Amino acid sequence: MPKLKIERAPAPVWMRTLIPIIAIPVTFLITSIFILLDGANPFTAFYHLLISPLAGKYSAIEVLVKSTPLMLTGVAVAFAFNSGYWNIGAEGQLYAGAIAAAWLGMILKDVSPILGIPLVILGGFAAGMLWALPSAILKVKLKVDEVVTTLLMNSIVLYVTSFLLNGPWRDPVSMWPQSPEISQGTEYFKLIPRTRLHFGFIIALLVIMVTWFVIKRTSFGLQMRAIGLSKEAAHFAGIKVNKTMLLVALISGGIAGLAGAGEVAGIHFHLIDAISDGLGYTGIIIATLGGLHPFGVGLAALFLGLIDTGAQTVSRAMGVPVYLGDVVQSTLLLVTLSLFVLQNFRIRRVK
């Protein structure tokens, strides 16, 4: 009688690139169960989730707006993961960037945009780096697991934000827990009038291009990839493992900081507690879906931006809870990760 046997056999390379694409229908199949449980039609729901947002001009632009911070946090995470530095702290680094942007917006009162915007960009980047620094040093000097420290740094910055908003930075006019509105000169300009699409989108595209160039075309990129793939071999080849990893961790933090600066300077115009709502964590999903490749990350960010926008459309049109978007995103990650593991095996019939 023939039996089935599971054995290790790595899938060909072309299959790996297909995985995120295979993952999408599988995800929809699984999430349909939840939609059915809610008494709605899955086909209509997915139509509203994926197609409706692209039908209208305003909602299509809104997809780009939602994708902007996701591209940045996704690239930040992917950059670090490329060298084997597991930065789970993009969320916190994003908050640090947002705090810096809000602060610059407060103190630079009558600044011209030509000076104000670059300062916000630099400030956001520097703040993200600064927030990534303690974990990076602990990792390099004392071999403390960066997964733990970057994650804990996220909680700290949330409390710092709360402190600022309920204390020194509380809006003197409304008394809401939000910082005073930033000055005009530090606001990102709009790319399309009367929409929310701002200069941060261009920054995100540039960052994608630059990180791609650094990773794939420079000696630094080759060295950081070598470290990510085999620390021992990299060290043996004379690559300065600690120095490179420290730098990668800081750049990753800086990129996440840009995401936070963009949310303040381009969307909200003041710091609020809920400035992120998990954008940094979604960045981890995006980095994984994008195969840690900056271009892949860009596409994954657009896709998740679409789901984010679509979730609201579904909710409005069909009364399905807006959390459907979260369910789809999380399921997609789990399915993708499962496929990455499963591709190493095959099932064979044996006699």
Partner 1 sequence: MYSIQMKGIVKRFADLVASDHVDFSLKAGEIHALLGENGAGKTTLMRILYGLYHADQGEILVNEKTAQIRSPKDAIQLGIGMVTQHFTLVPTLTVAENMVLGETGSITINLPDVEKKVAEASERFGIPVKPQALIKHLSVGERQRVEILKALYHDARVLILDEPTAVLVPQEVSVLFEALLRLQKQGLSVIFISHHLNEVMEICDRITVLRDGKLAGTVKKADTNLKQLANMMVGRENFGVTRQGPRERGAAELRVEKINAIDKKGLPALKDVSLEVHQGEILGLAGVSGNGQTELSAVLCGTHRVTSGKVQVGDKDLTNAEPAEVWKAGVGRIPEDRHANLVGELTVAENLVLDQIDGFLKNGMLDKKKIEQNANTLIKEFQIKASASDHLRTLSGGNMQKVMLARTLSLKPRVVIASQPTRGLDVGATDYVRTKLLEQRDSGAAVLLLSEDLEEIMALSDRIAVIYSGRIVGTLSAQEATAEKLGLMMAGLEA
Q: Which is nearer to partner 1, 109 or 217 (by Cβ)? A: 217
Query: Quick one: tokens of 48?
Result: 């509203």
Q: Which is nearer to partner 1, 57 or 240 (by Cβ)? A: 240
- State the minimum distance, in angstroms, from the CB of residue 309 to partner 1: 36
* C-alpha pair distances (Å), 233 with each of 14, 221, 224, 228: 26, 16, 12, 10
With H, G, I as helix, E, B as strand and everything else as coil, classify residue 73.
helix
Q: Which is nearer to partner 1, 170 or 231 (by Cβ)? A: 231
- State the minimum distance, in angstroms, from the CB of residue 237 to partner 1: 4
- State the minimum distance, in angstroms, from the CB of residue 229 to partner 1: 5
Q: Which is nearer to partner 1, 216 or 346 (by Cβ)? A: 216
Cβ neighbours of residue 313 under 8 Å, at least 6 residues apart?
A: 48, 49, 52, 53, 59
Query: Quick one: tokens of 254?
Result: 């800086």
Q: How far apart are CA 330 and CA 319, in angstroms?
A: 21
Q: Which is nearer to partner 1, 10 or 321 (by Cβ)? A: 10
Q: How far apart are CA 56 and CA 351, in angstroms?
A: 58
Query: Quick one: tokens of 130?
Result: 């600064």
Q: Which residues are at the interface with partner 1 (CB under 8 A)?
A: 217-219, 221-223, 225-226, 229-230, 232-240
* CB 128, CB 264: distance < 8 Å: no
* CB 224, CB 240: distance < 8 Å: no
- State the minimum distance, in angstroms, from the CB of residue 283 to partner 1: 23
- State the minimum distance, in angstroms, from the CB of residue 206 to partner 1: 18
